[in-house]
A and B are shown apart, each in its own frame.
Chain A
Amino acid sequence: MTYEHFAVLIVIVPLMSAFAVALLGWFKRWACYPLTLAALFVSFICSLGILNTVISKGTIHYHFGGWEPPWGIEYVVDYLNGFMLVMLSFIALVVAIYSKRSIEQEIPEKIVPYYSIFLLLVAGLIGITVTGDLFNVFVFLEIASLAAYALIAVGEDGAPMAAFNYVIMGTVGACFYYLGIGYVYIVTGSLNMADLSQLLPNLYHNKAVLVGFALFTVGIAVKMGLFPLHVWLPDSYTYAPSVTSAVIAPMFTKVMAYLMVRIFFTLFKPYFSIDLIPITQILTWVAAGGIIAGSILAIAQTDLKRMLAYSSIANIGYIVLGIGLANRMGLTGSLLHILNHAFMKGTLFLVAGGIMYKMGMRDITQFRGLHKKMPFTMGTFTIAALSMIGIPPTGGFFSKFYLVLGAIDARQWAFIVVLLISSLLNAVYFFRIIENAYLEPPVTAYATDGGTHEEIKRDELPLSMLIPTLILAAGVVLLGIFNERIIAFIIRFAVPASF
């Protein structure tokens, strides 16, 4: 078997397994979980093979059915989506390992369809990342979105309404995106990204191209939950089952951020999106607003998952700020933050799911004494929280550091202030939880008869949930320690050469 087929296997294996899981579920319910794991594991191995090939041999082009690119569909993997693929398939695998106990408790009667749709979601997200064809992106985007709607809707009481709002907003976003494709297609007659990036420079002053670009930007901004368009996000993340939040929060919005980088700097040349129209400038200010507003709204929440959702909005702000700064340091910080934030938010949502599993609640004020009950879980939470605030040696520090360097390079002092303020706000809302869990005297410690201290027994998560959480938390630290290497070997080449 040759390496070149990895680029297509990484999508096909989860896609086909999704149907296999649904079929197998009719006969053997227990087999769904191992089959899902096997499919995601194959995907992960493929992603490693792809990244290895990209590093050793350069960009991979895979032509479907042997049709040459402008006519046929092409999968392209370069440094930018190579590392995205590894990240996506790794987090999907880890969350899938975690999912078993949590799903059995929260939605026991829907295990079979849940795993089937879970695989569809992963296939869709990986497909968006790997393809080199604009319309193909739309198809995978809809596969992933429809799967996400369904995964959210099976959650607790408010979930169906949250999912319905998400359907409406998400469809409008996707519609804008493919309307944008239409406008670009009118003037070029091509759908292949590499072909378009050759054809478009002569047409940069064409009105249809400008409209198409605007539609792309708005459509993707809706899908990624950029600040004024984020209204679907908090409800969806809060009411979804724990595993759904843990898989959608780190992956979906990051893939949309990747698509934004792809369209801004590969499909259109950086010259267009930076000099010709002031889109990157506008985006920096939108992102700065999102960072501050997301952080402040997060402080106001008492529900852990809702707080994490608002923190996600702030972090999307960081990523878009880096894209908007549009210089080497800024974009490096942005790509590094895509990676870091996926790991941090994954860990935090896994911890939230774990607390939900053990305690059946996620109200921050009731977390008192939790470090005695679940020391490892709260330990991983603290690591991820420190990374969110930006304390070395965790990953979050380095991505923020590069963003600040990018702001200095662009001579945009206001954004340095925004980044620092938001770090302080992050500290406020994360230390509130850490303080509650570690320092406040536990409520249950005072028993009703005479106030004798009742010992809090250690009651950790089952290993199948604890180990994935620990792996992701270790990832947060390792990404911080090895950030130099990640940038030197991968991200440096993912940033456009003209920066």
Chain B
Amino acid sequence: MFEYIVSKYNYWVYIFLMMLGLYGMIGKKNLVKKLIGMNIFQVAIILFYISIGSKVGASIPILTAEDLHGSANPLHYMNPLPHVLMLTAIVVGIATTGVALGIIIMVYNRYKTLAEDEILEIRKKSGV
């Protein structure tokens, strides 16, 4: 059992990080902390994808001169596709963070605070 957990440690790390991010989004009151939780959540999934693409003892997927003449053995190379997908996902994550930060600035300009409960109180007072 212990060995089973240790041998798949990268997947456990991904689950732990994901739950940490989820906690950050739900449990924290500050909007920036919520956003950080969201980022951790996204990074956890990126780690998962990187784990599924890698192989023990394999090298980066670049063909050498010998491979071109002989037959390239796919077992010697990592799967590049999940890693490439993650390049897209990283870009998407950055864009999301950017938009969210922009929205946070708008929130701050309006309420002069970033704590969710204080914002709710201000909104309740003004009746909106």
Contact = CB atoms under 8 A, between A and B. Distances in A.
A142 B96 contact: yes
Interface in A117-168: 135, 138-139, 142, 146, 149-150, 153, 157-158, 160-161, 163-164, 167-168
A139 B88 contact: yes
Interface in B39-83: 41-42, 45, 48-49, 52, 81-82
A149 B45 CA distance: 22
B77 to A, nearest CB: 14
B103 A157 contact: no
Contacts of A150: 99, 102
A178 B96 contact: no
A9 to B, nearest CB: 23
A107 interface: no
Nearest to A147: B99
A424 interface: no
B85 interface: yes
Contacts of B125: none
Chain A interface SS verdict (over half): helix
B20 interface: no
B89 interface: yes
A179 interface: yes
Given A164-B31, A167-B103, A157 B110 contact: yes
Nearest to B120: A161
25 contacts: A135-B85, A135-B88, A138-B92, A149-B99, A149-B103, A150-B99, A158-B123, A158-B128, A160-B106, A161-B123, A163-B103, A164-B107, A167-B96, A167-B103, A168-B25, A168-B35, A168-B38, A168-B100, A171-B38, A171-B96, A172-B25, A172-B41, A175-B45, A178-B45, A179-B48
Interface of B: 22, 25, 31, 34-35, 38, 41-42, 45, 48-49, 52, 81-82, 85, 88-89, 92, 95-96, 99-100, 102-104, 106-107, 110, 119, 123, 126, 128
Given A149-B100, A153-B102, A182-B49, 14 more contacts: A138-B89, A138-B92, A146-B95, A150-B102, A157-B128, A160-B106, A160-B110, A163-B103, A167-B38, A167-B103, A175-B45, A179-B48, A182-B45, A182-B52
